[in-house]
Chains A and B, each alone.
Chain A
Amino acid sequence: MWPGAFPRKKTNMEQILANGVYLGAQYAMIALGLTLIFALMNVLNFAHGQMYVIGGFVTYTFYGQWGVPFVLALVMSCVTLAILGALIERFLFAPVIKGSAREESTMLLAAGIAFFLDAVILLVFGEKQRGVPKIVDGVFNYDFRLIMPYDRILICILAILSIVAFIGLMQYTKTGRALRALAQDRTAAQLMGVNVDRYSMIGFALGAMLAGLVGGLLVTITGVNLGMGGATSIKAFMMVMIGGAGVISGAIWGGIILGFMEAIGLALLYQYGDITYLLIFVSLMIFLAIRPQGLMGKPWG
């Protein structure tokens, strides 16, 4: 499902935990963007995986092909996706939400956008797997018990820093306050003088930007290809469901839990291949039967 997420070999506990942290951090970032968009506009963004792939391709183009410094390429990924997200919100989602009798119409629109972005990616970048040169060489090796390439450690740290920065933005800035107010109660926020249209756009752009950022980060390790979009969207949906839709802490927990489940499952059951994902899906269904709103969610979000 996620080719080359990390090597499948006989591993011990330290290695599994390190892999779990590494996977959890990137997953949490993907889930954050999706949950932010959902919380603000009640839109289930099917195109999230495609936005992630576009982010990866932008970094690939700038860093891998044109030799621009990696950090600058990452910034370009963020900017591209933020602009794309803002445009999509302004010209597609906002009018459809206003004109539609049912909220569910936005799902149709999101699916249409997912198809559209897939088509654009196919035309512009082709369907080949793309990779970029390593950003840092070398492997961290602690007594052969914990082996982790330096670039993964760096990406993991960058991902955690981004999550912290995002939480900081949401908690302590004016924009973040407005976004949280909007997520809590749209009408009340409007009555309190929050410019709802403007902050919806900012929020959507922010969510898309997170997808682009994590795509740009991960292109250095897993590479990027067209087919990743759909699989990424499904994973993001799962994380959001584990944690509870529309709750930021829930998205982070969902990402961490899924990351650890995958790390442990792939380490213990590596000879059975995809059975890990099957087990994760089944346990998710049982979990949701007991607690339909997820870990942190409010009932019927």
Chain B
Amino acid sequence: MIFIGVPLIIGATGRWDFYFTLTSVALLAIASAGVWLTFYIGRINIGQGAFALIGAYVSAILVVKAGWSFWISLPAAGLFAALVAILIGLPILRLRGVYFAMITLVLTQVVTLTALALPITNGARGISNIPLPSGISVFGIPILPDFAAMENTKLAFYYTACVIMILTYAALYRLVNSRLGHLCRSMQQNEELASSIGVNISYIRIVIFAISSFFGGLGGAMFGSIAQSVYPSSFQVADSVNFMLNCFLGGLGYVFGPMLGTLVLYFGWDLLFEFGKYQMLIYSTILIIIIRFLPNGLLSIRFGKGGDK
């Protein structure tokens, strides 16, 4: 449906700009999936913007300065974000509740400032003119076409983003229903108890945080490639907060919650564009009303009240 139905509808209505919107939704949903996963071990992560920015920069630097192919830089960006997450996660994952939320929020600010200060990131000017992804061919057989040679790069990016999003959510679904997922649920409920029955909690939370940051880096790198530029302001504190909002709004109890939340929030924001300067006012009013009457998310899957405090 995503691959055939949506292009047909867009073709029929003639709203080609929806491709860009939906591509953004797919990419933001990837990053939001990471936030959701950190919530799965009972941590509120408002730092995904940091990892998205790291991913975007790593991919941009590898493509522009080192001349790598975009398709290799994409996993490299994710892995680098995961590595950073392991280093940072070692101290800060000991924090809980609002403390973790606040420190991850600060982390976003740290990465923005670092991007401004480091020479390799070009400071406030950022990295622009990133070339479009080139083609891939194995033994002379083309697997992916060169994006620059295509007539409709929007459609190409849309398909790419959707494929990555589906892979992400498939991985997430698999993870949640695996042994690791059960261990995560036990940690979400009570870390001490989980630890006392032999769950290696410090190991699991690092692994989960790394995976979630991998998603963040992936989404960010793809975003940089579509915009063909990265700036320190590409992902800011507000974006980190938005990633969290996507998860909360979709409902935290369901794997596909962040996907729905992203779709509703970003699409809603885009549709309200016609209201001009009242866009923000209407958007936030609707947001507040939704939370006021559906405090447990759109999917409203109820949690047991005895969860973590």
**CB–CB A274/B94 < 8 A:** no
Stretch at the interface among B75-83, B113-121, B139-147, B152-160: B113-121
Q: Are A111 and B292 in contact (CB under 8 A)?
A: no
Contact, CB under 8 Å: B295 / A277:
no
A122, closest chain B residue (CB)? B280
> Which of B5-13, B103-111, B215-223 lies at the interface?
B103-111
Contact B295 A116 (CB under 8 A): no
Q: Which of B25-33, B129-137, B241-249 contacts A (4 or more CB under 8 A)?
A: B241-249
Residue of A nearest to B46 (CB): A107
Instruction: Tell me if A292 counts as interface (CB < 8 A to partner B).
Output: yes
B39 CB to nearest chain A CB (Å) = 8
A234-B302 Cα distance, complex, nearest whole Å? 31
Q: In the assembled complex, which residues on chain B have CB atoms less than 8 Å from the CB atom of A301?
A: 97-99
Check: A109 CB closer than 8 A to any chain B CB: yes
In the complex, the answer to whether A102 meets B101 with C-beta atoms within 8 Å is: no
CB distance from B202 to the nearest CB of A (A): 13
Q: Mark A24-45, 1 if CB is under 8 A from B, else 0.
A: 0000000000000010001010
Min distance, Cβ B91 to any Cβ of chain A, angstroms: 3
Q: Which of B253-309 contact A (CB under 8 A)?
A: 277-278, 280-281, 283-285, 287-288, 291-292, 295-296, 302-303, 305, 307, 309
* Distance between Cα atoms of A281 and B113 in the complex (Å): 10
Complex contact A285–B292 (CB within 8 A): no
Q: Which of B44, B110, B117, B292 contacts A107 (CB 8 A)?
A: B44
If the complex has contacts A105-B295, A230-B238, are A123 and B277 also in contact, measured as CB distance less than 8 A?
yes
| Closest A residue, CB atoms, query B241 | A111
* A105 & B44 in contact (Cβ 8 Å cutoff): no
**Shortest Cβ distance from B141 into chain A, in angstroms?**
48
* A241-B102, A285-B103 given; A105·B284 CB < 8 A: no
- B95 part of interface (Cβ distance < 8 Å): yes
Q: Which residues of A contact B295 (CB under 8 A)?
A: 96, 99-101, 105, 109
Cβ of B210 within 8 Å of any chain A Cβ, yes or no, is no
> Of the candidates A95, A102, A230, A282, which one forms a contact with B110 in the assembled complex, judged by CB atoms under 8 Å apart?
A282
B119 vs chain A, min Cβ distance (A): 13
A87 to B109, CA, bound (A): 31
A150 at the interface (CB under 8 A from B): no
Q: Is the CB of B281 within 8 A of A116?
A: yes
Does A208 count as interface, using CB distance less than 8 angstroms?
Answer: no
Interface: A288 (CB within 8 A): yes
> Counting CB contacts under 8 A, is A108 at the interface?
yes
Residues of A within 8 A of B248 (CB): 104-105, 107-108
Within 8 Å of chain A (Cβ to Cβ): is B252? yes
Interface residues of A in 25-83 (CB under 8 A from B): 38, 42, 44, 46
Known: A237-B102, A237-B106, A300-B97. A105 touches B245 (CB 8 A): no
Is there contact, CB below 8 Å, between A274 and B103?
Answer: no
Set of chain B residues within 8 Å of A284, measured between Cβ atoms: 103, 106
- Chain B residues, CB < 8 A from A294: 99
Q: How far is the CA of A108 from the CA of B298 in the complex (A)?
A: 13
Chain B residue at minimum C-beta to C-beta distance from A108: B248
Using CB atoms, name the residue of chain B closest to A88.
B288
Which chain B residue lies CB-closest to A300?
B96
Tell yes or no: B172 within 8 A of A by CB.
no
Write the nearest CB–CB distance from A289 to chain B, whole angstroms. 3
Minimum distance in angstroms from B73 CB to a CB of chain A: 26
**Residues of B in contact with A (beta carbons under 8 Å apart):** 44, 88, 90-92, 94-99, 101-103, 105-107, 109-110, 113-114, 116-117, 237-238, 241, 244-245, 248-249, 252, 277-278, 280-281, 283-285, 287-288, 291-292, 295-296, 302-303, 305, 307, 309
11 A-B interface contacts by CB (under 8 A): A102-B303, A105-B296, A107-B248, A113-B284, A115-B280, A122-B280, A237-B106, A238-B106, A277-B113, A288-B92, A289-B92
User: Which 10 residue pairs are nearest across A and B when measured between Cβ atoms?
Assistant: A289-B91, A100-B295, A119-B280, A116-B284, A115-B284, A119-B281, A112-B287, A108-B248, A281-B110, A112-B288
Give residues in A with beta carbon < 8 Å to B.
38, 42, 44, 46, 92, 95-96, 99-105, 107-109, 111-113, 115-116, 118-120, 122-123, 230, 234, 237-238, 240-241, 245, 272-275, 277-278, 281-282, 284-286, 288-289, 292-294, 300-301
List 15 extra interface pairs beyond A237-B106, A300-B97, CB under 8 A: A92-B292, A96-B295, A101-B296, A108-B249, A109-B288, A112-B287, A116-B285, A234-B106, A237-B105, A238-B106, A281-B109, A285-B88, A285-B91, A288-B95, A292-B95
